[in-house]
């Protein structure tokens, strides 16, 4: 099936993940591993982050911690109280029962509200365990295992997805679920954290969804659409017109 109007020969050759990370490190600096939270805290935080900004999900997590003394209190509370506490994160009426379901299942299965045992599971078993919970998809699983357990599982958020497509690492019609699989097969385990964070940095600051700043992109020579955008920027500048994207 044809997925790109340009022929493969006309597309720039993708950089390897190692060379891509090396270029981005020169621009954004090295990646410092983020604070490592308890696994259950990370899971709840990532559920709250679904379909909202980091600021809103962080505020919701802090409010949940402020209103309830521990996760058992969240489990036992009326679902409306939990939803009220996390309202700022959006979709509170979906996320509150989702969080309580996780807490109930963990307690039923293990007798205590802890997921620290995931540190000791092989990656595949840890993935399968987390996928049992409704609303916990590939990105949520990957975030929990990468950040809380330091397992080499690559989360593909909107920035990683978009930048990877523009750089030809995945096809333009590849959805998020398939992207996890395809990128995982390309990125060495030692680079998973760097790749994830560097592409997010680049996607937020330069390779944005609506107005990518190709004229200051260190990867533009390996981007399928970058050179055309640069030409458009140059034409607009020579005619004194505002830049179009």
Query: Of 160, 217, 215, whose CA–CA distance to 184 is shortest?
Result: 160
| Chain mean position to CA 177 | 12
Question: What is the full DSSP assignment across 169-204?
Answer: SS-TT--HHHHHHHHHTTS-GGGHHHHHHHHHHHHH
Catalytic position from the list 2, 139, 151, 178 = 139
DSSP label of 136: -
Q: Which ranges of 50-137 would DSSP assign to H, the alpha helix? A: 54-67, 71-76, 79-85, 92-110, 123-131
Confirm whether 139 is a catalytic residue: yes
Residues with catalytic annotation?
A: 139
């Amino acid at each position: 099936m044809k997925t790109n109007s340009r022929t493969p020969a006309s597309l720039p050759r993708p950089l390897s993940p190692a060379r891509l990370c090396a270029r981005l490190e020169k621009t954004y600096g090295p990646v410092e591993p983020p604070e490592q939270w308890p696994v259950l805290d990370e899971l709840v935080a990532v559920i709250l982050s679904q379909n909202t900004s980091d600021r809103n999900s962080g505020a919701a997590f802090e409010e949940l911690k402020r209103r309830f003394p521990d996760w058992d209190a969240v489990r036992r509370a009326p679902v409306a109280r939990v939803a009220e506490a996390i309202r700022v994160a959006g979709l509170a009426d979906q996320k509150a029962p989702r969080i309580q379901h996780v807490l109930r299942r963990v307690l039923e299965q293990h007798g205590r509200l802890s997921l620290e045992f995931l540190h000791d599971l092989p990656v595949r078993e840890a993935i399968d365990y987390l996928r049992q919970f409704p609303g916990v998809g590939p990105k949520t699983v990957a975030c929990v295992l990468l950040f809380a357990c330091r397992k080499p599982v690559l989360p593909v958020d909107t920035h990683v997805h978009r930048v990877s497509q523009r750089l030809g690492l995945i096809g333009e019609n590849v959805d998020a679920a398939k992207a996890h699989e395809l990128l995982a097969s390309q990125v060495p385990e030692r680079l998973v954290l760097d790749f994830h964070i560097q592409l997010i940095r680049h996607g937020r600051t330069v390779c944005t969804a609506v107005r990518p700043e190709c004229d200051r992109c260190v990867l533009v020579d390996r981007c399928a659409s970058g050179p055309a955008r640069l030409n458009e920027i140059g034409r607009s500048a020579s005619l004194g017109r505002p830049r179009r994207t």
